[in-house]
Structure 1
Amino acid sequence: MANWCELQYDMLEVIAQHLTKIEDYVAFGAVCTSWRAAAANKKKNFRGIPLWKQIPCLMVAAKDENDVGDREFYSLLENEVVAKVNLPKLKGKRYLEALGWLLLIGEEGDMSLLNPFSSGPEIPLPNQNTIPGYDRYEPDAFIFVEKFALSARPSEAEEEEEKCEDYVVMLICGSVRFLAFWKPGDQSWNRVVLRVSVYSDVTYYNGQIYAVDKKGNVVVCNPKNNGEARILATLCYRFWDLKQLYIAESEREESLLVVTRDNFPFFDDDAEDREPRYGTAEFKVFEMDLSAGGRGGAQGGSWSSSRLCLKEIKSLGNRALFLGHSATVSFEVSSNGKLAPGIKPNHIYFTDDCWLGYGATAGGGGKDMGVYNMETGTVEPFYHAPKVLSYICPSAWITPNF
């Protein structure tokens, strides 16, 4: 029997050039090291579009907490599981996703970055116990980190032979959900002292860290200035009460979006069993014009004293949002289907990130997934989850990159 891993490299490159679906491209690169190298060599050229601008896949949650590292990938374009990839480095780890990279978390608080579709090594990060104030929370290392974001892909560089060292890793962690960050060369994590309420989401834009908390406060932080932070804007109480909040890039330059999601468990007064019910009912989107207060809220190295406005918008234009356990991302969608084929503009694609749903409902959490139409205010399902899904290894959006 022929050993397909021994095919000549030139032949593998020709095969890679003839693939027409991102899912096939990912499956091709996952075969072995030599096939992955051929895929990586064409990563800037797949259909003339960088991989990170292609349609995200859903990496389906582990079926149980003792899985062996097998992961299924569900395609929104094909509406089915299109690949099953063995990722042994995920075994016994919790993971969160950002920009196609995974933050792996071990039982002892050890953490690292891994590109699951690359043959490159893991990037070690400082242990959780180097986060200031870590011990006071009596942490469970597996669930200490709630959210993870990256300012850039560690593998990105102008020259492919170079390694990108100019990136920031951001975490929301602890039972009180504070903000921490790390840069290459740091021996420990840096903590952002400013915290009015528990943080809900974090992103990176134009050299600054932006985060939103559960009380609708948008905070901006300069990672190169000892984590100095201030409140940039505040959402009205009636919009954030009992909501999950997210922050993402807007269609307009110098603007960010704050998104509220109504998905907290509630009790149905008419139900006899008093079983809490949960499921996403509505999203609202607010836009914040950063140019109104200077880039990042800072002018000439000092903070502007004025607060910015959050204006509700009814349309995302030609963008689609992806949110949930993974980092919140905003994708440009083209009318000809070349950018993000299969994705609908002005829609929000979401996975289940309501931790209360995992423990407060008899059926377990993880199944509140769907697509929200901003124009009609309706939700449609896209994936029917099995009865039990792991909170340690949840379903997450992932944009493959080699």
Structure 2
Amino acid sequence: MANWSDLQHDMLGLIAQHLDKIEDYVAFGAVCKSWRAAATEKNFKGLRLWQQIPCLMLSAKDDFNREFYSLMKNQVVAKVSLPQLKGKKCYESQGWLLTIGQQGEMSLLNPFSGVEIELPNQNTFPEYDLYEMDPDIFVRRMVLSSRPSRESPEDDDFVVMIICGGVGSLAFWRPKDLRWNRIETRNSPYADVIYTNGQFYAIDHMGNVVVCDVFEANPNDQARIIARFSPELWDKKELYLVKSSSTDDEPFLVVTRDNIPNYEDEQGFELDKPIYGTTEFQVFELVSTAGREKEITSRWEEIKNLGSRSIFLGHSSSMCLQNNKLAPGIKPGHIYFTDDAWAAYVAIPEGGGKDMGVYNLEKGVTAPLYDAPLRLSRTCPSLWITPNF
């Protein structure tokens, strides 16, 4: 009897090219090592759409598998064996997961291709041991400059940027770096960071938007303020920085999220479990105008309607999708959000995952994200991921 694992690579590639559903492609790659080697981006004709529309990686039901939920199909479309995620915190960017273990170990993992890249441990940061930081909350955000290659990621020129530490500072890592590189700034703790137009942009909790070009010879000197978001506009709410679209001339968006946890009851007594939940989003657009002396001035204007755009927020890179990239099941003018209130849910034994939904910006109402029982996790609540192989 023929052994399916012995099929020639070219033949496997031809078979893979006839698969247009992500669930079939994941199953194809899970057969054996040789079949997984053929499950590449080049061979998956249906990948282009799936790379544009995030799936929801659900919190684990067991120690070995993770399920991926599609908003387009309103169902679980893939189940992947990922025992290496057991007990680990996860953040996502461009289809890759930053995983953090209980001993501070860190790595990048592509959950579909299985490629994993080891990163320096959190204990390489001086304050990690000094302040006895909890590994579950030491890192708050992660973004990639580009996707690592499948064949030789150690030779790529991608950059990993994180927000980390007790003061919420910026740090980055490049292949072959032995430790994380700190970006020294005098700004307050950072809230979010994105990569666009060849540079990293971050916003801190005082509303300062900075740009960091880590590809310069002396990157520690390259963080500079390019815009200020007035504290009066957000009043201590959670902040997200979002690129309005993929074109260079489109403005930034700042999204505010009102989900500040309440740790006391109405009488001022401390609660056993913090109460939190998102009540409102606001979206502001950075508008630049030319003055009398041809000086360019910028201001933030609130927008009440996203038009054809949809925004995705959570423990993933903040993302804005245009209507021409949307698919059935994705609603324009809505904000899709997952639970990222880490300071609150780490204090709850069952963890986080309940504060997620779909917010209609124009009407100011929230609907459930999907019709299924919620799964909670203290280490890795459900998060968005854009599949790639």
Identify whether the pair has TM-score above 0.5, normalized to the shorter chain: yes
What residue is the counterpart of 1:365 in the other structure? 352
Assess if the C-alpha contact under 8 Å between 1:68 and 1:88 holds in 2. Answer: yes
Assess if the C-alpha contact under 8 Å between 1:324 and 1:351 holds in 2. Answer: yes
Change in Cα spacing, 1:362 to 1:341, as seen in structure 2 (3 Å) is: same
Distance 1:306 1:184 in 2: 38
Match of 1:198 among 181, 189, 193: 189
Change in Cα spacing, 1:340 to 1:150, as seen in structure 2 (3 Å) is: farther
Q: Does 1:349 align with 2:336?
A: yes
What letter is aligned with 1:208? Q
Change in Cα spacing, 1:354 to 1:248, as seen in structure 2 (3 Å) is: same
Q: Secondary structure at the match of 2:312?
A: strand
Question: How far off its partner does 1:40 sit?
Answer: 0.9
Assess if the C-alpha contact under 8 Å between 1:331 and 1:340 holds in 2. Answer: no
Question: How far off its partner does 1:8 sit?
Answer: 5.9
Distance 2:355 2:321 in 1: 21
What letter is aligned with 1:215? M
Question: How far off its partner does 1:50 sit?
Answer: 6.1
What residue is the counterpart of 2:59 in the other structure? 61
Match of 2:95 among 96, 100, 103: 100
Distance 1:262 1:401 in 2: 32
What residue is the counterpart of 1:178 in the other structure? 169
Q: Secondary structure at the match of 2:376?
A: coil
Question: How far off its partner does 1:167 sit?
Answer: 1.4
What residue is the counterpart of 1:52 in the other structure? 51
Q: Does 1:130 align with 2:148?
A: no
Distance 1:26 1:149 in 2: 24
Change in Cα spacing, 1:198 to 1:167, as seen in structure 2 (3 Å) is: same
Identity of aligned residues (%): 58
Moved more, 354-363 or 321-330: 354-363
Change in Cα spacing, 1:75 to 1:364, as seen in structure 2 (3 Å) is: same
Assess if the C-alpha contact under 8 Å between 2:20 and 2:44 holds in 1. Answer: no
Assess if the C-alpha contact under 8 Å between 1:30 and 1:117 holds in 2. Answer: no
Question: How far off its partner does 1:127 sit?
Answer: 1.8
Offset from partner CA, 1:125-181 (integer Å, 9 cap, x none): 12222235443332122331111111110128xxx8897622110111112211111
What residue is the counterpart of 2:208 in the other structure? 217
What residue is the counterpart of 1:37 in the other structure? 37
Match of 2:368 among 373, 378, 381: 381
What letter is aligned with 1:204? Y
Assess if the C-alpha contact under 8 Å between 2:350 and 2:376 holds in 1. Answer: no
Q: Does 1:396 align with 2:380?
A: no
The CA RMSD measured in Å over matched residues stands at 3.4
What letter is aligned with 2:107? S
What letter is aligned with 2:132? E
Question: How far off its partner does 1:320 sit?
Answer: 1.7
What stretches of structure 1 of length at least 5 have no aligned partner?
293-304
What residue is the counterpart of 1:288 in the other structure? 286
Match of 1:226 among 219, 227, 236: 219
Q: Does 1:314 align with 2:304?
A: yes
Match of 1:258 among 254, 257, 269: 254
Question: How far off its partner does 1:384 sit?
Answer: 5.2
What residue is the counterpart of 1:238 in the other structure? 232
Distance 1:315 1:32 in 2: 48
What residue is the counterpart of 1:301 in the other structure? none
Question: How far off its partner does 1:184 sit?
Answer: 2.0
Offset from partner CA, 1:242-284 (integer Å, 9 cap, x none): 31111121135332221111122347859x9988543222211
Q: Does 1:207 align with 2:206?
A: no
What residue is the counterpart of 1:278 in the other structure? 276
Question: How far off its partner does 1:119 sit?
Answer: 4.2
Assess if the C-alpha contact under 8 Å between 1:94 and 1:392 holds in 2. Answer: yes
What letter is aligned with 1:169? V
Change in Cα spacing, 1:259 to 1:41, as seen in structure 2 (3 Å) is: closer
Question: How far off its partner does 1:361 sit?
Answer: 6.3
Moved more, 344-353 or 36-45: 36-45
Change in Cα spacing, 1:25 to 1:316, as seen in structure 2 (3 Å) is: farther
Q: Secondary structure at the match of 2:316?
A: coil
What residue is the counterpart of 1:299 in the other structure? none
Distance 1:361 1:207 in 2: 39
What residue is the counterpart of 1:73 in the other structure? 68
Change in Cα spacing, 1:124 to 1:236, as seen in structure 2 (3 Å) is: same
Assess if the C-alpha contact under 8 Å between 1:249 and 1:330 holds in 2. Answer: yes
What residue is the counterpart of 1:325 in the other structure? 315
